[in-house]
Structure 1
């Protein structure tokens, strides 16, 4: 068995050892046609089976990772753990929540004590007792409620035994610092990739390092763009949600593909895939920076996982840093909306 690189989480979970690369599960269910259970289960198992018994696979799910913002992703996990109960203790499960009950359109988010309790209880109900929520994150920072109050609400749920640890998602560096005055945050989830390397991201990493918080770097492959497998928009199904992202728009696609070609050339010289190169670069940003790619198939899960083993030379790192800093990516991280209205940084 190839040895897999590991790291530790932060805050109240600093004793937990996980694989250096986590496993995002969102796209197993948040798609027009969900991945069949048997395929999804093999994808999840593959990552866990590659680890020694004392290392946990970090699984990232959400209360709303399904069509119509439902609990389908957690229900998939409940079926997985019912079939493979011995895998429950070998995983560390993170669940994002805090959405408002779905009534059509975008449901919005709320960090009120009542809604956070409802969200946690709803997530636990979907898991049906097969697995405890190791880490709970509000999917966005609620601008109407001080983060200190939200953390106190979640701390109460920890004390009740409903969840074990608390994380943050899409928060600013200052919000993270304020949150840690209430309870040591175990992990903060933000987008990091060669496509997404903003100034606020760098500040979050700096504060996380200072305070000992792990960083979950989601979409390290630019939602699949940076893998090189999507060569034209025709490679995406007509109803693929990525067509809505500004970086995938026809007027931006070919311009942004220049980065893919450059990454592919560097990867080929190193005899690794572009995906593994991106994961290695993200992982090189800090000991507690954990790349969080999504995968729905066994081969991709293992390719991603072993990307955490790739070591970049100083020359390779400098070449990548220069490319990422100098190339101007066209389009933003989401749909071109004002970040303040979509809570991308709270």
Structure 2
């Protein structure tokens, strides 16, 4: 397994990370037995970077990971997050909280659910516009000093916010959505800033929420409780236009004898050396398929072909609803 350094203390994480959200929430039926088998298969393959959050479930995903790593703590680098508050009466509604007392309470709760003594990487999941980021990071810094957290990160933060956070404590990782079909982090300068500052960029949804795998060919392919039914990119005319772009990308992948998933992951790893794709799956077979992306490096000609058929503006629809888009790159 290829490794990348994170932070300044010599910690190393696998070049691909396993996103565990869909094992417990938002992507159809749960299968905890298969999910734990997938986590174990990832650890066996050298994938030590496991990504979760307290809002996944909510809470149940951290419990699942805790069960999976109970006897394998030394094999796992655990990243979790706080800051998104789920509405118990409406799963589609979200609140944001970055108050210092909330940060500390969330950390203690996550440690208990995960069954660990220290969180390797603790993210603020979304930026709370009502609380100065310096105050939130200040509370997170105290968690580091208390030995409850090793490294700090931010998710969906702007360059300005990252700089303000760094004035309080070093930021080891930035997590934002980044894939062939979601490249706005390039426009706002976050990818470039992380590269220049030595911050690891963790790309979530590198497979476009499953769209880039080619397995979702119709809106009806999505389970009734799948949250992607609410995503503008999976609806109506947007969805049909996006399928046309995907067909052109698949032609390039087929010439290289790569699956669409491998192709999408290889694009990210070829494009940016400081980026770690965090793909989500709850099945061992897809884990194994995705890991084979590590064997590929796309050529300059292939990268140019991709840019020609899928430039930054190629895909239609925003990646979140209008309400949730206000919370990204904040």
Partner of residue 54 from structure 2, selected from 55, 63, 72? 63
1:81 is matched with which residue? 69
Q: Which residue of 1 aligns with 2:99?
A: 112
In structure 2, distance between residues paired with 1:20 and 1:202 = 24
Is the CA contact (8 Å cut-off) linking 2:176 and 2:185 kept in structure 1? no
Aligned partners of 1:137 and 1:166 also within 8 Å: yes
Q: CA deviation at 1:322?
A: 2.6
Could you tell me which residue of structure 1 aligns to residue 22 of structure 2? 27
In 2, Cα distance between equivalents of 1:261 and 1:187? 33
Structure 2 counterpart of 1:224: 210
Match of 1:17 in 2: 12
Partner of 1:124: 111
CA-CA distance at 1:283 after TM superposition: 1.6
Return 33-42 or 277-286, whichever deviates more: 33-42
Aligned pairs for 1:1-346 (under 5 A) are 4-9=1-6, 11-12=7-8, 15-31=10-26, 34-51=29-46, 57-66=48-57, 70-82=58-70, 85=71, 87-100=72-85, 102-105=87-90, 106-129=93-116, 132-198=118-184, 203-325=189-311, 327-337=313-323, 339-340=325-326, 343-346=327-330
C-alpha distance in structure 2 between counterparts of 1:57 and 1:201, whole Å: 31
- Structure 2 vs 1, CA of residues 220 and 250 (structure 1 numbering), >3 Å: closer, same or farther? same
Tell me the secondary structure at the aligned position of residue 284 of structure 1. helix
Higher mean C-alpha displacement, 29-38 vs 114-123: 29-38
8 A Cα contact 2:98 2:131, kept in partner: yes
Bigger strand fraction? 2
How far did 1:101 drift?
A: 7.3
Distance 1:243 1:338, change over 3 A: closer
- Equivalent residue of 1:62, what SS? coil
Q: In terms of mean alpha carbon deviation, does 169-178 or 319-328 score higher?
A: 319-328
Give the Cα–Cα distance (whole angstroms) in 2 for the partners of residues 195 and 262 of structure 1. 13
Question: Which runs of no fewer than 5 residues in structure 1 stay unpaired?
Answer: none
| 3-state SS, counterpart of residue 161 of structure 1 | coil
Structure 2: runs of 5+ lacking an equivalent = none
1:178 shift after superposition: 2.0
**Cα distance in 2, alignment partners of residues 165 and 262 from structure 1:** 40
Q: Cα offset for 1:224?
A: 0.5
Paired residues of 2:28 and 2:226 also in contact (CA < 8 A) = no
Q: Residues of 2 paired with 1:209 and 1:339: CA distance?
A: 24
Query: How many angstroms does 1:337 deviate by?
Result: 3.0
Q: Indicate the RMSD between aligned Cα atoms, in angstroms.
A: 1.9
The TM-score normalised by the length of structure 2 is 0.93
Greater shift after overlay, 300-309 or 198-207? Answer: 198-207
| C-alpha contact (below 8 Å) 2:54/2:110 kept by paired residues | yes
Q: Is the partner of 2:323 in helix, strand or coil?
A: coil
Cα gap change, 1:101 to 1:218, in 2 (>3 Å):
closer
Q: Is contact 1:246-1:336 (8 Å) kept?
A: no
Q: Distance in 1 between matches of 2:251 and 2:75?
A: 37
Q: Check conservation: 1:32, 1:239, Cα contact below 8 A.
A: yes
Measured at CA, do residues 201 and 213 of structure 1 come closer, stay the same or move farther in structure 2, by a change above 3 Å?
A: farther
Question: How far off is 1:286 after superposition?
Answer: 2.0
Q: Tell me if structure 2 keeps the 8 A contact 1:133–1:163.
A: yes
Counterpart secondary structure, 1:8: strand
**TM-score (ref. length: structure 1):** 0.89
Given that 1:176 and 1:207 are in contact with CA atoms closer than 8 Å, whether structure 2 keeps it comes out as no
CA-CA distance at 1:48 after TM superposition: 1.4
Query: For the residues of structure 2 that align with 1:65 and 1:39, how far apart are their CA atoms?
Result: 18
